């Protein structure tokens, strides 16, 4: 019986000893844990090989959402490059593809005035160069002889005049009303003033009407053939003067607003090595929904007729832009909902900044809001920084905004530290702490930790 009682007392004493040891260990661990965390944080900050540096920005103790720190070694690894934001005038050389077209003011269409038959046709197919007043073709039409007889009768019955003073359309010619009606009738048949003047001088009846070229130019189209019957309104010839041509190009809307009539441009034929000077005529109000572009028209002289209709040329148009804040297009991360750049705050700290953009010409984009001259932004490697920034923002969404403990340098959740009462407002700035010990040390000598 004594042995059983002794065993029970021994087991009870052993249980009490185990419970007392566990309680003491938990009390001691709770006291030592902040010191261990603090030491680990200090070592991480002071270590020259760590990926994060101590934030030396004394204006604020809390980071903005998404702000990240990248060590110089890591910046070199991911290829981070920065550039200073400047406000300055910009120039851009706009290069577009152009197409040669006929100047519509120098295009002539020879339309048949009456029904007729082609009698003779010159050697002038499409592409042939013809001279001014050159006979292109001849045709016969009804009422040709009777109309000439009416003109000859009116000439004989009118007041005599000197042959040299007679001229079709001349106001000094003493032509009677009947004579003028006969001349207009011949014009209605398609007879030119040259042939009418010849008839008035020689009084010899013409058996056919000649078709003369109104200009010196190229035959773009010939729609008649020998002995062909044609109807009134048929386009017989289409002739163009190519000494002066139009050039059309497609440009985007953001480029069109910088182009003004009268601007000079350089036009080149890449396959021939020829360069011409052109002038902007107008930006036509024609929008192509397929390419989402507008039409630009230029005018150029065409010596030796080197530029032909439907040929393609290269156009270089220098554009001068007013002073503005511009950044490289690669510096802007466009998510569709917002546009972001990363501002270099120094000591490896990068801040995501939402910006608003204006025009874009080439590789430069205007910044209308969000940046000021003198700031430095990331122009290369910003995708890697953005990925880390997104992780920081995700962490901020889970743990709230992070703040750096000024005593040990640890990142502290603002929400948790605020609920635990581990915060101090000093000189209009709120500082958060990881433990009561750090808070007490800061409360004793705050300037010491702020200077460090």
178 versus 375: the higher-pLDDT residue is 375
- Beta strand residue intervals within 113-257, DSSP E: 116-121, 129-130, 135-140, 209-212, 217-222, 229-230, 235-240, 244-251
What's the average model confidence in pLDDT over 96-107?
Answer: 93
What's the average model confidence in pLDDT over 214-220?
Answer: 93
Are 421 and 438 within 8 A, CB to CB? no
Q: In what order do the strands lie in the sheet with 116-121?
A: 209-212, 135-140, 116-121, 229-230
64 versus 328: the higher-pLDDT residue is 328
Structural domains in the chain? Answer: 94-103+242-323 (2.40.30.170), 104-240 (2.40.50.100)
Are 434 and 35 within 8 A, CB to CB? no
Range of lowest pLDDT (254-268, 323-337, 407-421, 436-450): 407-421
Neighbours of 325 (CB within 10 A): 20
CA-to-CA distance for 422 and 412, rounded, in angstroms? 10
CA triplet 53, 58, 61: central angle to 5 degrees? 80
Distance of CA 18 to the CA centre of its chain: 78
Range of lowest pLDDT (25-29, 126-130, 148-152, 362-366): 25-29
What's the average model confidence in pLDDT over 73-102?
Answer: 88
313 versus 392: the higher-pLDDT residue is 313
What confidence score (pLDDT) does residue 366 get? 87
Summary mean pLDDT of the chain:
79
164 versus 134: the higher-pLDDT residue is 134
Range of lowest pLDDT (39-53, 153-167, 279-293): 39-53
Half-sphere exposure of 137 (CA within 13 A, CB side): 24
CA-to-CA distance for 196 and 150, rounded, in angstroms? 13
Are 136 and 237 within 8 A, CB to CB? yes
CA-to-CA distance for 236 and 112, rounded, in angstroms? 7
CA-to-CA distance for 103 and 245, rounded, in angstroms? 5
pTM for the whole structure = 0.58
Are 96 and 361 within 8 A, CB to CB? no
CA-to-CA distance for 131 and 214, rounded, in angstroms? 8
Phi, psi of 154 (to 5 degrees): -70, -35
pLDDT grade for 59, boundaries at 50, 70 and 90: very low
Neighbours of 64 (CB within 10 A): 14
What confidence score (pLDDT) does residue 300 get? 95
Range of lowest pLDDT (8-17, 85-94, 296-305): 8-17
Q: Say if residue 31's pLDDT is above 60.
A: no
CA dihedral for 317, 318, 320, 321, sign (positive or negative): positive
Element (H, E) at 76: helix 72-78
What confidence score (pLDDT) does residue 198 get? 86
* pLDDT tens string 269-303: 988 889 999 999 877 777 888 888 888 999 999 99
Q: Say if residue 19's pLDDT is above 80.
A: no
SS3 411: strand
What confidence score (pLDDT) does residue 407 get? 87
What confidence score (pLDDT) does residue 115 get? 92
CA-to-CA distance for 430 and 451, rounded, in angstroms? 16
What's the average model confidence in pLDDT over 386-392?
Answer: 74
Q: Say if residue 161's pLDDT is above 70.
A: no
CA-to-CA distance for 118 and 139, rounded, in angstroms? 4
């Amino acid at each position: 019986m004594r042995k059983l009682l002794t065993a029970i007392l021994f087991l009870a004493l052993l249980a009490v000893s185990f419970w007392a040891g566990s309680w003491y260990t938990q009390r001691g661990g709770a006291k030592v844990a902040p010191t261990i965390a603090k030491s680990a944080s200090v070592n991480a900050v002071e270590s020259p090989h760590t990926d994060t540096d101590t934030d030396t920005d004394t204006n604020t103790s809390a980071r903005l959402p998404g702000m990240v720190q990248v060590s110089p070694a890591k910046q070199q690894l991911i290829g981070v490059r920065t550039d200073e934001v400047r406000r300055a005038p910009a120039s851009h050389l706009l290069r577009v593809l152009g197409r040669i077209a006929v100047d519509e003011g120098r295009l002539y269409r020879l339309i048949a005035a009456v029904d007729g038959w082609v009698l003779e046709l010159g050697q002038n197919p499409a592409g042939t160069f013809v001279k001014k007043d050159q006979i292109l073709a001849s045709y016969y039409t009804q009422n040709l002889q009777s109309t000439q007889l009416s003109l000859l009768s009116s000439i004989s019955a009118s007041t005599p005049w000197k042959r040299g003073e007679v001229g079709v359309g001349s106001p000094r010619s003493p032509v009677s009303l009947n004579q003028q009606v006969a001349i207009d009738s011949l014009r209605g048949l398609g007879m030119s003033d040259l042939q009418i003047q010849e008839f008035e001088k020689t009084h010899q009846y013409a058996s056919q009407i000649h078709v003369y070229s109104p200009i010196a130019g190229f035959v773009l189209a010939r729609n008649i053939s020998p002995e062909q019957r044609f109807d009134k309104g048929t386009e017989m010839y289409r002739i163009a003067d190519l000494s002066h041509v139009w050039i059309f190009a497609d440009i985007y809307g953001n480029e069109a607003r910088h182009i003004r009539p009268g601007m000079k441009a350089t036009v080149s034929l890449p396959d021939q090595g020829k360069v011409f000077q052109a002038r902007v005529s107008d930006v036509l109000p024609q929008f192509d929904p397929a390419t989402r572009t507008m039409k630009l028209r230029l005018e150029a002289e065409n010596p030796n007729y080197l530029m032909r209709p439907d040929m393609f040329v290269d156009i270089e148009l220098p554009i001068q832009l007013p002073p503005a804040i511009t950044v490289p297009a690669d510096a802007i991360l466009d998510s569709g909902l917002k546009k972001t750049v990363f501002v270099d705050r120094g000591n490896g700290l990068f801040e995501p900044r939402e910006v608003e953009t204006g025009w874009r010409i080439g590789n430069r984009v205007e910044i209308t809001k969000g940046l000021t001259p003198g700031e430095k932004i990331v122009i290369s490697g910003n995708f890697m920084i953005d990925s880390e920034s997104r992780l920081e923002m995700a962490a901020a969404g889970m743990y709230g905004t992070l703040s750096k403990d000024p005593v040990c340098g640890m990142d502290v959740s603002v929400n948790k530290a605020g609920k635990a009462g581990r915060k101090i407002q000093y000189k209009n700035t709120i500082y958060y702490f990881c433990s009561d010990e750090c808070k007490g040390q800061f409360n004793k000598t705050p300037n010491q930790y702020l200077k460090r």
